[in-house]
Amino acid sequence: MVKNIVEAKDLCKNFGKIRALDHLNAIFPKGICGLIGPNGSGKTTFIHILVGLVKPDSGKAYVLGHDSQKDSLKIRRRIGVLLEDESFPQNLSVYEYLRYVSKIKGYSIRKTIRICKEVGLYEYLDRKIKTLSAGMFKMLGLVQALIGDPELVILDEPTANLDPLKRKRLLNYIQRVHREKKVNFLISSHVLPELEEICNWAVFIYKGKAIDQGYLKDLYVKYSTGIYEIISDKPKVLAEYLKSFKSIDIVEEKDDVLRIKVKNYSELKNALSKALAEKSIQIISFRPLGGLREVFSRAVEKYSEVIN
Amino acid sequence: MSVTWSRLVLWITIILLITITLLYYQSAPYTVDPYSVEMSKMESLSAMRDALVLSSMIYTMILIIIGVMAWTMPLKRCLVKTFLSLPIGRSVFFIGNVFNIFLPPFIVFLVAHVFAGLYILSYVSVFDLLLLFPLILLNTLFIVSIVTLISLIVKDSIVSLFLASSIFLLPYQFPMQLKYINSCYFYTVTVAYIWHCVKHVSYSEAINLIAVTSLVTSIALILSFIYFLKMDVD
Rounded to two decimals, the pTM is: 0.81
CATH 1.10.150.120 assigned to domain A4-215? The reply is no
> Is residue B177 pLDDT above 50, yes or no?
no
The helix/strand/coil state of A62 is: strand
What confidence score (pLDDT) does residue A95 get? 95
The answer to whether the CB atoms of A55 and B232 lie below 8 A apart is: yes
Instruction: State the average pLDDT over residues B115-143.
Output: 73
What confidence score (pLDDT) does residue B220 get? 94
Cα dihedral: A29, A32, A38, A41 (round 10): 40
What confidence score (pLDDT) does residue B179 get? 44
ipTM over cut 0.85? no
φ, ψ for residue B31, nearest 5 deg: -100, -25
Residue A8's DSSP bridge partners are A26, A61
The answer to whether the CB atoms of A55 and B230 lie below 8 A apart is: yes
The more confident residue out of A117 and B193 is A117
What confidence score (pLDDT) does residue B15 get? 76
The domains of chain A are located at 4-215, 225-289
What would the pLDDT profile of A153-208 be if each residue is shown by its tens digit? 999 988 887 888 888 888 889 999 999 999 999 999 888 888 888 899 999 999 99
Region A225-289: CATH code: 3.30.70
Instruction: State the average pLDDT over residues B26-55.
Output: 58
Contact call for residues A45 and A13 (beta carbons, < 8 A): yes
The more confident residue out of B90 and B39 is B90
What confidence score (pLDDT) does residue B173 get? 46
Same fold, A4-215 and A225-289: no
A contact residues 180-219, partner B, Cβ 8 Å cutoff:
none
Interface residue ranges in chain B relative to chain A, Cβ cutoff 8 Å? 1, 3-4, 77-79, 81-82, 84-89, 230, 232-234
The answer to whether the CB atoms of A104 and B233 lie below 8 A apart is: no
The span from the CA of A101 to the CA of A116, in Å, is: 13
Q: Which long-range contacts (CB under 8 A, 24 or more apart) does A166-174 make?
A: A166/A135, A166/A138, A166/A139, A167/A194, A169/A119, A169/A120, A170/A119, A170/A138, A170/A139, A170/A142, A171/A197, A171/A198, A173/A118, A173/A119, A173/A142, A174/A32, A174/A198
Give the model's confidence band at B47: pLDDT under 50 very low, under 70 low, under 90 confident, else very high.
low
Positions of chain A with pLDDT under 70? 1-2, 251
Please report the beta strands in chain A, taking only residues with DSSP state E, as ranges in sequence order.
4-15, 18-29, 32-36, 58-63, 66-67, 79-82, 152-156, 184-189, 201-206, 209-215, 227-232, 248-254, 257-262, 283-288
For chain B, percent of residues with pLDDT exceeding 90: 23
The span from the CA of B218 to the CA of B145, in Å, is: 8
Give the model's confidence band at B109: pLDDT under 50 very low, under 70 low, under 90 confident, else very high.
confident
The more confident residue out of B40 and B72 is B72
